[in-house]
Structure formats: structure tokens, C-alpha cells
Structure 1
Amino acid sequence: MPASPTPAPTPTVTPPAPLTTDRLLLRAVHRGDLAAVTRLWTDPEVRHHLGGPVTEPVIRIRQRRIVGAAGCHAVIRAEDDVLLGLVTVEPGARNGETEVSYQFLPEHWGKGYAREAVGAVVARVLEGTPSVVALTQEANHRSRRLLEAVGLEHAESFVEWDARQVLYRIRRG
């Protein structure tokens, strides 16, 4: 009698390894982070260059998927354990290149937290991949300055999602 086919292994989701900087802890998203993360998805200022606030049905789906998700870093201020934002890494997301994206709550803007977190994540990603890209709207001058500050360079501009976009890239070495 032929053997039963072996079931395919269930893929495991490996949350990102924790990463620390002088002021921050970057770790997997925990259930206790969901209120702050939901604010990121619904805050009109945060979502201004990201297509607007996310709708309730999409929020429920995202909440189920984000806890412990691979590539999604909760950015935590080390001194008081406050969630400041998210930095996400998506291998192969844009024409085979690893894409880094980020969003931070407005009350934490202008303090260097995003630059510190994104810079640390980009450095880590470059240890294992030849390049990293990031995309922002041309009109998002703060985000463009942040990307340039962490070493990414303007690679191309184009229209996508009905807006002028700018792709930034950094290569290892």
C-alpha cells in the first residue's frame, strides 16, 4: 500500500529579532501595542501621504495579522516603553528588492526617533541583502529628508496611486 503523502510543513512566521539603539527597542508587535498601532492606521496626519486613514474592516484584518508578524518592528522608546511607530521590512517587495517603510505617531515627530529606527533597520537589512529601497510621495518632504539622512539616494520618480512618488535606494558596500 502506498504511503500517504506527507503534508507540507506549516510555514512558520518568525518575528524580527529585537534591535536596540541608544534610545529605542525595535521588536515584534505585541497585542498590547494594538491601540497605538491602530492610531497609526487611522490618524489623518500619519496617513496624509499614505492614502488616508484605513477603514474599520481593514483595521480588523491588520490587527489579526500584525502581532508577531515577520518584518514588522514596533518602535519602543526604551526609557518609558511607549510605542512610537512601526518600521516594516518586506523582502522582494519592489522588483525583487527589499523595501523598508515606516510610520510614526505625530507627537513623536521631529525628535530623531524615526531616523534612528529606520537607520538601524536599514543597516541590519543591508547585512543580508545587496540593496534596500524606500518609497514616499514627492510631496512628503520630511520623509524624503529622513531617507537621505540614513543614506538612501533618490533613484527614480514616477506616478503611482495617483500621486508623484520618489523611490530611494541604498546599496551594500
Structure 2
Amino acid sequence: MCSAPAPSAPSAVPMPWPAVLTTARLVLRPVARADVPAVTRLWTDPEVRRHLGGPVAESVVRIRQRRCVGACGVFAVARADDGLITGLVTLGWDARRGETEVSYQFLPEHWGQGYAREAVAAAVDWARGGSPTVIAVTQEANTRSRRLLEAVGLEHVESFVEWDAHQVLYRTAG
């Protein structure tokens, strides 16, 4: 099991971990040691990180590399047919206001193929088994991410400024 939710969020239930989720084309599974180079690219690619504060500093990348393998709620997204890593989807059970938060990053060569939508939808569906709502935050300027969140059933509920950028918060309906 993942770590227990914060006392302020008694309705959030951590889901059993490790978990493997499958879709028509993808497998979402815990990060393995062999995935670390692809995951590192996600943290250091300027295009991937354009709306995420820029590439992660090398010292932070080294720490993340040690911690990401098997980390609770961190799914490597692999194509089912060949195992190629396309991205990362993360669920945090003690996010803003104690709600479950989904975040994601995909390698640019896999953009526009529906992988992110498919993976995020699977993760949100799975997370809702233990949490009444799932949230996501993205920069207002990240129109692709906003469309993805709306396509998987999240609704824009709040706008605010954080990290010197306009942000939007989305939440599952009902």
C-alpha cells in the first residue's frame, strides 16, 4: 500500500501498490531500473518541461533517479506491443487540500498519438477507486494539457497564479 492519506483527507484511500494498469495499447506499471534513462529524458527535455518550470537541475535529477524505481504512485507508461517507454503518470494521494492529484509527462516523439489521453484516463479511473475526486493542475498556457484533462472528464474549477505563471486546476466531476 502507498502511504496513508493526510488526516485532512479522510475520504482519500491509498490504492494497493505496486499496481499494473492496462489499456488497449499501453501498460502502466511501476518504474523499473531499465526505465531510468527514458524517465531522465522527461525531467531534462526542454520541450517536455516547457510548462513545468524548465529542465530539472542535474543534482535533483540524480536524487530522482535513485527514488523513482518502484516509487508509490509513479507509473512508467509503456507501449504494450514493444515495451517502449512513452511517458510517466504520477498519482499523489496527499496533494492540494488532501485530494488525489494526477500529473504526467510524455516524450515529444509520442505526442499526438493519444497515448497520454489513454494513460491518464486509466490512471484517473483507477485512482477514483480510492478517492472520490482526482485533481490536476496545469499552466493556463498549456492548451494541449488542458484539452487532455477535459477529454478524460476533468472540469476546470479554479484559476490562480503560482510559480509566477497562470495555473488552472481541474477536478473530476461528481
Residue 159 of structure 2 aligns with an amino acid whose one-letter code is S
Once residues 102 and 94 of structure 1 are traced to their aligned partners in structure 2, the CA distance between those partners, rounded to angstroms, is 16
Question: SS of 2:124's equivalent?
Answer: helix
Structure with larger RCO (C-alpha < 8 A, sep 6+): 2
1:88 to 87, 90, 93: 90
Counterpart in the other structure of 1:31: 33
Counterpart in the other structure of 1:142: 144
Counterpart in the other structure of 2:42: 40
Contact map agreement 1:126 1:171 (CA 8 A) in 2? no
Aligned length: 160
Counterpart in the other structure of 1:99: 101
Question: SS of 2:94's equivalent?
Answer: strand
| TM-score with structure 1 setting the length | 0.90
% same residue: 70
Gaps in structure 2 of 5+ consecutive residues: 4-15
| TM-score with structure 2 setting the length | 0.90
How big is the shift at 1:128? Answer: 1.3
Contact map agreement 1:152 1:168 (CA 8 A) in 2? yes
1:154 to 150, 153, 156: 156
Instruction: Output the aligned Cα RMSD.
Output: 1.1
Larger radius of gyration: 1
Question: SS of 1:157's equivalent?
Answer: strand
Counterpart in the other structure of 2:9: none
Once residues 16 and 164 of structure 1 are traced to their aligned partners in structure 2, the CA distance between those partners, rounded to angstroms, is 34
Gaps in structure 1 of 5+ consecutive residues: 1-10
Counterpart in the other structure of 1:165: 167
Once residues 111 and 171 of structure 1 are traced to their aligned partners in structure 2, the CA distance between those partners, rounded to angstroms, is 26
How big is the shift at 1:171? Answer: 3.9
